[in-house]
Amino acid sequence: MKRSNFAYSLLIVIVAVATVFAQTPAPPAGTTSGTTSSDPTTSGTSEVQKTIEEILEEPTTTDSYRYDPQGRRDPFRSLIGPAPKLEGGQRPPGVPGFMIDEIRLQGIFKTRQGLVAMINGPDNKGYLIKVGDKVFDGEVIRVTGTSVVFRQEVNDPTRIERFREVVKDLSPSGKR
């Protein structure tokens, strides 16, 4: 149904354009390009026809097109910024240089200051962390008797929240 309505609409537009072009008077056979017409509609339609012909004659190869941003941003780049490309020399040493995904929880014990978690870093060494300690992509916000909760910074423009909670549970040694 929609296709036939579209076809009828297209046919009406083509007929209307053909009628307009058929009704425009042709220049007399004896006129030269140096003479001007006193009829304003004739000169207007000939200018429009020349403009249409110039547009149609432009080359459409992809080699000739070049995007000029004129101060506008690139629509394909992230609004938040580029994802950080991490190399060994860019990270700080120790726990502040560890990503949350690289950390394994080894144990939790109680001290006078509160609960402290023992983690295993990507360098296969043990470290102690407590609430408030920073890691490369977040911080420790809670240490419970069986888990550590991190607040991870999220670099995703489609999400409303800028942070998400990541829980590392203390698992039995046989389930690793």
Chain segment 131-164, per-residue pLDDT in tens: 999 999 899 999 999 999 999 988 777 777 888 8
Q: CATH top-level class for 95-175? A: mainly beta
Tell me, what's the pLDDT at 48?
79
Chain segment 88-137, per-residue pLDDT in tens: 568 888 899 999 999 999 999 999 989 999 999 999 999 999 999 999 98
Cα distances from 50 to residues 47, 55, 56, in angstroms, run 5, 9, 10
Cα(126)–Cα(111) distance, rounded to whole angstroms? 17
Cα(25)–Cα(66) distance, rounded to whole angstroms? 40
* Sign of CA pseudo-dihedral 90, 96, 97, 101: negative
Q: What are the domain boundaries of the chain? A: 2-26+37-64, 95-175
